[in-house]
Amino acid sequence: MAVHWPNTIEAVELLFGIFKAGLIAVPINLRLKPAEIAYQFRHSEAVLCFSEPAVAPLAEQARESCPALRQILTSVPTCHSAANLPELDENLPVVILYTSGTTAQPKGGTHTHRTLAETARQIGTNVLGEGDVVLVVTSLMHAAALNCVLLPAIYQGATAALVPVFQPAAVLDAVERFRCTYTGILPALLQFVVEEQIRQPRDVSSMRSVIAGGDTVPVSLQERFQKHFGVPVQEVYGMSESLPVSINPRHAIRHGSVGVPRVETRIVDLHDRDVAPGQTGEIVVRSSSNCIGYWNDEAATANLLRGGWLHTGDLGGLDSDGYLWFRGRLKQIIVRGGSNISPQEVEEALYQHPAVLEAGVIGAPDNIYGEVVVAFVVLRAGTSAGEEELREYARQRLSDYK
């Protein structure tokens, strides 16, 4: 059962109705084009789609190449009598979360009732209480909002407020109006919220906890957020396939780290052998919130789940105090003249420059070194910084080969 809906109460009703009926929900990202939607319809074998009227034309276009999809509904059915709900096995699949990676098409991370409940318990008991008012700012069609915000709020008996479509002003207005205490947000969106608060401050004194993950949160952005909101950012680490892996303790935050693991976590080399403390390797986790694999993809599932451990494809390291440090993607590592370079480390150095708003680093082919480091930089409005200035700035903070 596909769900193609913005953040409204109807989306919540649809998702929980599907869960309680013992069916499988397939949340569809609202930013997808018809061809991308059609792939997820076909791959998930969806037979029905609920699509909000404003976005339904996209789903209708996608349906043209999906003969198995029987109907697209643009309203939520009402039930006037008690439904005969099935007894549910906690190990039955309940949701397919499509996630892009290094393959040509997204893979469908499949969760069960048990793994979703465990995710909600892990986050709910670590950061929420019954008196919290939780703000949902990213799309419920994505794991960041569904798994990390809405489900933990309901599990913990908190109140959830929904922002239909992300807009920085709408987020801050909701915090002020509903006296929100907690939210989860993506780092790229956090930047816009900070800029809006600087431009037109709201009363955000009710906030006590903000988690951010899905990508690295530059330390400079964390510092700016705390300055203007009065609370720290708790950086977290996880993915659609497993949430949460680690959370920064609110009263013992280590900036730059993605926190302390909440599940069994190892750092391994290419042969699945544990590396020494402080060394970089692949992050692998064993958790009751791990997905059970990729929908209709045995080969990808076998590569993901090996020997009882979920292989994240991410690089990281554990320090002597048990904090986890994210160091890039396994397949994004830059190898220059035989030396490994983490793109994230170079990005972090650039982010410290006062003129840099955004930075992205990749490896480019080179006839001598194999690869060289290339940075794409967006400057803050009203500032200036030339290429040589940024090179020198990075040179003062990084080894020469980086």
Cβ proximity of 397 and 359 under 8 Å: no
Q: At what angle do helices 187-199 and 219-229 cross, to 10 degrees?
A: 40
CA distance 295 to 292: 9
Residue 50 pairs in a beta bridge with: 3, 73
**Residue 213 pLDDT:** 87
**Residue 197 pLDDT:** 97
Cβ proximity of 92 and 113 under 8 Å: yes
Quick check: helix, strand or coil at residue 70? coil
What b-and-e string marks burial along 271-307, b requiring 16 or more CB atoms within 10 Å of the CB? eeeeeeeeebbbbbbebebbbbbbbebeebbeebbee
Q: Is the dihedral of CA 216, 218, 224, 226 positive or negative?
A: positive
**Tens digit of pLDDT per residue, the chain (402 long)?**
999 999 999 999 999 999 999 999 999 999 889 988 999 999 999 999 999 999 999 999 999 999 999 999 999 988 766 678 889 999 999 999 998 755 557 899 999 999 999 999 988 887 888 899 999 999 999 998 999 999 999 999 999 999 999 999 999 999 999 999 999 998 878 989 999 999 999 999 999 989 998 877 888 899 999 999 999 999 999 999 999 899 999 889 999 999 999 999 999 998 999 999 999 999 999 999 999 999 999 999 999 999 999 999 999 999 999 999 998 888 777 878 666 677 888 898 899 999 999 999 999 988 777 789 999 999 999 999 999 999 999 988 887 778
CA distance 255 to 271: 31
Quickly tell me which residue has 């609920």 as its tokens.
50
CA torsion angle 67 71 73 77 (round to 10) = -150
CA 60 to chain centre: 28
Nearest to 96 by CA among 229, 274, 293: 293
User: pTM, whole model, 2 decimals?
Assistant: 0.84
Beta strands 309-318 and 356-366, pairing class: unpaired
Residue 239 pairs in a beta bridge with: 242
Helix (H) or strand (E) holding 114: helix 113-127
**Residue 81 pLDDT:** 67
Q: How far does the chain reach from its first CA to its final CA, in angstroms?
A: 48
Residue 340 pairs in a beta bridge with: 335
Cβ proximity of 192 and 185 under 8 Å: no
For residue 88, the number of C-alpha atoms closer than 13 Å in the C-beta half-sphere is 17
Residue 249 phi/psi, 5-degree rounding, is: -60, 135
| Alpha helices, DSSP H, located in 237-354 | 298-304, 343-351
Structure tokens at 51: 């699509």
